[in-house]
Amino acid sequence: MKLRIHQNSLRLRLNRSDVEQFRKTGICAECLRFGSGSQLTYTLEASSRCTVMEAHYYQDCIRVLLPLDVAQEWAGSDEISLSVDRADDRGPSLLIEKDFQCLHRDETSSNDDVDAFPNPLAGDQCR
């Protein structure tokens, strides 16, 4: 799972393995470790307690929570993304999306996106 932070927004991008883990367990988590022994943990969690997508930060952990029904539907479908756009003090804007294979990278140069979802635009490329 990839995390992007830009201004007052968070974006999580999940590859196929991440989505499958999330579908089965209701959680996907990653850590960014620092040399001092500290770390930043970020998670995507399905929750029966929340009614809207929300984010919380507490003790070096960013938790993005999805309502259980929304999480199950998204993880088990072809739906690409979920988003909440906030322009107030209730937290950051959120975007959760399935990570697609890159169209502009030489396929032989990297295996970074081998577990990414097939890009729906790949069939539109000239060969």
Q: What share of the chain is helix, strand, coil (3-state, %, to 5)?
A: 15, 40, 45
pLDDT in tens, 47-78: 999 999 999 999 999 999 999 999 999 999 99
Whether the predicted pLDDT of 124 surpasses 60: no
Query: Rounded distance, CA 53 to CA 22, Å?
Result: 15
Residue 62 corresponds to which amino acid? Answer: I
Mean pLDDT, the chain, whole residue set? 87
Task: Report pLDDT for 88.
Answer: 73
Token pair, residue 1, equals: 């799972």
- In order of start, what are the domains of the chain with their CATH numbers? 2-103 (3.30.1360)
What's the farthest any 2 CA atoms get from each other in the chain? 50
For the question of whether the overall pTM of this predicted structure is more than 0.85, the answer is no
Query: Rounded distance, CA 49 to CA 127, Å?
Result: 49
